[in-house]
Every structure is written in structure tokens, then in C-alpha cells.
Structure 1
Amino acid sequence: MYYHREIILRCEIQGQPTDWVFEWISSSGDAPSTQNDILSLDYSFSKYYWCRGRRKSDPHDVTWWSAPFTSRYASSPTPVLTVSPSWLSPGASVTLSCEVEHPSAGWRFYWYKAVPDLLPIMEFAARRRRSFYFPSGYRFENLPGTIKGTVENSFIIHGQKQTAGFACRAGRGNPEHLTDYSEPKFVWSADPHPAASLSVSPDREQHFTSESVTLNCGGNSTEWRVMTPSRIYAWSSLYSYSEKVNGFTTEMIAYRPSTAVYWCESESEGCSNAVNITIHDGDLILVSPVHPVNEGDPVTLGCELRTGNFTSTVGFYKNDKLIQNTVRGELSIPAASASDEGFYRCEHSGKASPQSWVAVKASSSSLPESLIIGLVVGFLLTVLLVIVLAILRNRLSQCHRSETSGTAPHQQVETPNQIYSSLLQGQSSLKFQ
């Protein structure tokens, strides 16, 4: 096995002018001393590297940090983890699959939960102190029952309800040689009411480029980070300029079209619900709720132009089928139901918005009350039936004893139907001997 002693990294800003200088940072905290777009580094140990551009003519025009690059020895294969499904649904199981390069017999597979481990590197800019967290900030804990590994390269998790990250590794030989951990993969929950929650303002899934989008993490933890699979933007809540004492708020402005999942993480509370956010560089977006809507609640979908007003009718489409034309630019659903789930988009004057999934969450608010009432009524009816049957049995027994002991010929014996009828009519002249 061999590796290169030196590798070259290049930082690029596609489609942008050339008057840019570049910043580099690594997971060890040291910033390579270069403003060039090319970085030469020693491929000797594991590190993460990021770059970003800053315009020479406007030092405040700064891009986001790039996706991370990691350097490491190529001494062992790195497994690849896949999760299915990626979005959680009630009662669904999550299947983890771990694949190694050139698979062969003799491997054992180990399964882990990725627990947020916030280890900040501090930056000082514009007299504001900010914590930047790296995606390597996870520690891995064995999933229950997997400490000894499994022969199968898949593992099923039952009852997963919250957003969570997972990883795997493989080992073989005696003594056992273990691979690196896989990159964490996530399953996401759209539940809007977990212990920790992520809210979005404006409260919609689609946003225009250059528009300010505020992400707020709510919960009892004092330190959060906002996560997305490809990038990470995180600040300590102590320096987030949020009015909330326990929480975290950050503002995001995107200049390129994108669609990504976002969620919050903290060491004490784990992961929040997740939301889809689409950034669109066109002139038309669909205004739809970022969280699932409750069954039975009214829902209004809208269509919004970047500039100007609507000059003609707006068409709303569900699953690529036109469902309504309107001059108001709104689609009203009086009471949402499961049949209203689907992909929606709007069109106006030949322009179309991206499509967004509108989810409907089954309402369970009335279920416990109706269930309790049903159980109580059923129990009372059962008790009443038992009492009635006991009384009937006792009366029949008395009648039988009277007949066998020489009841007078003119004494009329009541039938069971007559006894039951008298009970319903409130006649209570029963005598017990």
C-alpha cells in the first residue's frame, strides 16, 4: 500500500470574476499562510480542510466555507454506509447497510450512533467572537446489542423517531484489524414538536437567492449547531446574538440555487426535527409550509413573484396535474387530509416555481379521549349485562323451585322475556328467598 507525500488542493468560485483572495483553515486550528487558490500540503495524517473566497474590491463580500476535504492514510478501506429510508415515517424501521471495497468473507460489522461532540475553533472577526464547528465533531457510540459486531453487513433499527446520525466500520483477522469509521449518514424526522426543534423564518420551504433566511434552534441546551449534509454553519449560542437565553438563532443568505436538509444538534439534546430548504434563483416560488400540516387544519399555498405583481392567472399543480387557476395567487385547502399530500408547484406567464412536498400529519388529538370514552362505555355495558343475567338466572331458579314444590295451579310463572321487560320498565318488585 502506498500514498502520496504531497497533494494539491484548489479553491474555485465557479462563474465569478478573478479578483478574489482565499482563506484556508484546517481541523487542527492552524490556518495555512496563503491567499492563493492552490494549497500544497503534506499527506501525512488525518485532517479536514476548508476554503472560502473574499473579494479584493469588497472585503465584506465573503463566500461560505467550502465542503470539507479530508487527508488521511490510505492504509485500510473506508466503508460506505447507506440508510433507508432517509425520512422517518411513523412505525417504519431503518435499515443500515455497510459496504467495504472489494468485499470478501470474514468481515464483521460494527454499528454506531453519531453523537454530536461540539469542539469549537474560535474565530475573531469584526469584533465579534464566533465558534466554528467542524463536521468531524462526532463521537461514535455502539448501538445496543452490536458491541460484538454482526456477520451480516446490514442492521435494522426499530422504533427510531428522531433525527439521528449513524456510522459503521468493519473488521477481520486475528487479531482483528478495524477499518476507519464511515462518514456519518442521517435519517431525518419532520416531527415539528420534538424535544429540540428547528424553525424557519419566513416559514416556508422555498426562498429566493439573496434573501435572508433565519434558522432558530429551540430547546433547553445552551449550545447548538445547524447542520446540513454538505456544509455546516454553527455558532455558539453565547455569541449568536439571539434574544433567547436557551436557544440559537442564525441568519443565512444564499447566493446560489440549492436544495438541502437542515437540522439542529446539541450534545445534551441530540438532533432536532429536519426541514427541506430550497433556494431558487428564478422569479417565482411556491409558498408552502416548511413543516407537515395537521390533518383537519386549513392550509393556504401561495405563489410569489420576486418583483412586481401577477398580470394573469396563476396555475397550481399537484403531482404535475393542474388543479386550479386563480387570479389571487393562492390555493386554499379548508381541511387538510391524507389525499392532499403531494408535490405542488405554481406557474405564471410561462414561468414555473420549483416543486415542494406538502406533508399531512395524522391528527391524534381526539383519539385518546374517544378511546377512553369507548372503553368506559363498553365496561359499563358489560357490567350491566352481567347484573341482568345474574338477576334473570336467580328468577328462573326461583320459578323452577316453585313448580317442583307444588305451586298453585292459578299462579302464573313469568317467562324470561317478561322478567327482562319488567326490568326495563323499572319494576323492581323482586323478592329474594
Structure 2
Amino acid sequence: MSLPRATVRVTPDRSVFTGETVTLKCEIEDQYRSLNWRYLWYKNTTKVFNSGRYTLNRDSLTIRGVTESDQDEFRCSTGIHGRPQTLQSSSAAYLTVKGSKPKLTSNTEGSVLTGNTVTLKCHIDHWSTEWKFYWYNNTQNTEKTTTATNSYTIHSVKVSDGGQYWCRAGRGKPDYYTDYSDGLWINVTESPKPVVSVDPDKQLFRGETVTLRCDIQDTGDTEWTYSWTVKKTNNRNIITQCNTQECKINNIQPTDSGKYTCRGKIREQNTEMSDAVTLTVSSGEFICLFIIISVKR
């Protein structure tokens, strides 16, 4: 009788982390499982026995507290009791063992301005949907939150969100946890509020030139970019073409009337929106009419 060749299935994965528990199972096609099989296990060419971290249980081999020395090829040999000539080897399953310390990164550099979004990422090799990620802030004793993916986002950050963060990952039953990442500092500072000034005046006549200036005080930064928004009388917000600190409007028209605001941006972070400055542009026709009436008199 030609016997089937066994295959080796590895749980949780062929790529595991130091300290994790891994189980290798020698699987034979269903129609042959009723036979009186015997199993032998080999690490590379060395026979494996019950010892220390290695536990043999008929068709399975469990390795507890995996170390880098366990990285190797594993195979099982199967045969029928009383028929030594039937012994044959499975294909090899290569077990990869990696260090278990994740790397924590952030989408921000330097200080984060309040009101912005911070995204942290916990990087481990070959993670999949079976992993959960655990996040810690200021102390490793209490989890801040748990996520099903390797990213954690803090929306509209506050000063109180600042501090040191760590992450680690876990999977399996019972849970296996990686080491903690190194700590990562997130510094949150109050977002400055720009102030808009107008030259020559907020009350204007058609055809005049007006310059609006967006000033951000007491930051010491010179790399700001700027955006300007005008709210029309119909409450429609329009982003203007101005993208510099000074927004100059030549030959202004009544249609340019509205409430103007600005905000600054640096390192992909926005400041607060300034208070609105209202520009009112008159057509000047009533002046001409007044002059004509005065002359006729």
C-alpha cells in the first residue's frame, strides 16, 4: 500500500516571536487517519524528544517560550506501528523566530498643536488580523486603549494628551504579548490664534486695493503657510486664492464683501481659525448721485 505523505501545520504561524508558544501538527489525509500511526519529529536532522520546552503529544510538537535557537526546519516522519518499512518523512516547515520588541512611531515631528490629529503606529513584522494592539500613556501599568490594527489615532488633541506613549501586541489563547516598545514622547502645545489686520480700512469702495495680513504671535516659527476663507452673505464659505501671510485684493468689487478669516499651517498642523474681519465694499454710485443733485441745486 502506498501511504500518504504527511504535511506540517504550524500554529499560530511559521513566523513567531521570542517567548511565544508554537505548535506543529503532523497532518494526514482524513481517509487514512484510522490507521495505527506513529510519529517521529526532527529539527533539521536531529530527532526531537520530550525535554524542557519541547512537548510531544502523538501527532503534535509544542515548543514553549520560543528562542532564536529554535529557528530551523522541522519535519515529521510517519509510519504504521509494526511496519517500520512504511516510515516516510513529511516536507519541511521552516520556523522563523524574531525579536519581540515593536517600534512605535508618530505622524508628527516636534510639538503638536492642540486641535490637530495624532496617529501612532506600532510596527511588528508579519502582523495579521489575529493580533491586537495595546496602547499605554505615561505608565505601562494601565492600558489606555486596545485596537484591532497597529494604529491609534487621537483626534483634536488636548494639552492633557501629551506625554510618553508605549505599545505592545498580543495574540493567541492564552494571550502571548510582545515586549513593550521604547517610549515615544508626544508634546502638545496650545495652538496660536492668528489675528487679521486690514489696510487701509474695512469699509471700501469699488476699485480700491486692500491688504489683509495674518499675524501669528509668539511662536518663533518662520515656516508657516497660510490659507484664507471668506464667508459670503449667503453663508457660503469660499477658500480664496491667497496662500501667503498677506492677502492683497486689487480692484475690489462689491462681490468681494464678506467675513474673512485666516489660519496658519506648519508641519501638516493647523492653527485655530482667526476671528472674522468683515469687508464691506460699496459701489460708490450714491456719491455720484449726491454730487449731481448738489450741482443742479
TM-score normalised by L of structure 2: 0.32
**Structure of higher CA gyration radius:** 2
Of Structure 1 and Structure 2, the greater strand share is in 2
TM-score normalised by L of structure 1: 0.23
Larger relative contact order (Cα-Cα within 8 Å, sequence gap ≥ 6): 2
Of Structure 1 and Structure 2, the greater helix share is in 1
